[in-house]
Amino acid sequence: MTENMNEKLIRSETIAERTRLTDLLAGLTEEQWATPSLCEGWRVREVAAHLSMPFRLSVPQFLFGVVSNGFRFDRFADRRARADTEQLSDAQLLAVLRNNIDTDWRPPGGGVAGALSHDVIHGLDITEPLGLPAAPPERIRLVLDNAGERNLSHFGVDLTGSRLIADDVDLTLGEGPREIRMSAKEMLLTVTKRAGGAVV
């Protein structure tokens, strides 16, 4: 597959994932919006606020937020998500997501693959605690195939000695002698150090 074809595929899957997530969020009760997510300290609504943040903030606003938090993006993202849920209703957050399904946002340094990863991973933060379906295995495979070692190392998972093998899609991570079989979803939860992943 050429680079251009792969980029088009990723863009298509990103739009499909955003559509899936907005449809899912549209069907949640107020209680479900308040359910703790897999992101520590965040409810489903804070995750939704975070997902919508790139569509609501200008580049100068984003840069100011990062700088004013000592260049610590995680701290800025946490504070912003909490502040946004105080100011915006669940319906307003949903509307932002719905209106930007096909927006070509790309995280700094992440490209189109980073955008898909962002939506799929945070989608799991929402769906897992609620017992709702995750992204399709092929979409998750696309995320992991395009992640690269640098991005995976961000989460601090060491696969030395282990080889993760998906049992629902053609996907393998790691080169160690110890084989661990799991679903693509469990593999993504594992490499991003989220609840529901395996111990490697």
Share of the chain above pLDDT 90, in %: 76
> What's the pLDDT at 199?
65
Alpha carbon distances (Å) from 49 to 33, 97, 155: 11, 9, 22
6-10 average pLDDT score: 93
- Give the tens place of pLDDT for each residue, 118-152: 999 999 999 999 999 999 999 999 999 988 666 66
Strand (E) or helix (H) holding 116 = helix 111-130
Q: How many whole angstroms separate alpha carbon 171 and alpha carbon 138?
A: 9
Q: Which architecture does CATH list for 3-135?
A: Up-down Bundle (1.20)
Secondary structure percentages of the chain, helix, strand, coil, to 5: 60, 5, 35
> What's the pLDDT at 151?
62
> What's the pLDDT at 160?
86
Specify the higher pLDDT residue, 3 or 85.
85
Cβ proximity of 14 and 115 under 8 Å: yes
Where exactly are the structural domains of the chain?
A: 3-135, 139-200
Specify the higher pLDDT residue, 47 or 157.
47
Q: In the numeric block, which tokens belong to residue 162? A: 């282990």
* pLDDT above 80 (res 153): no
Q: In the numeric block, which tokens belong to residue 79? A: 């504070």
Cβ proximity of 112 and 11 under 8 Å: yes
For the chain, the average pLDDT equals: 92
- Give the tens place of pLDDT for each residue, 75-93: 999 999 999 999 999 999 9
pTM confidence score: 0.91
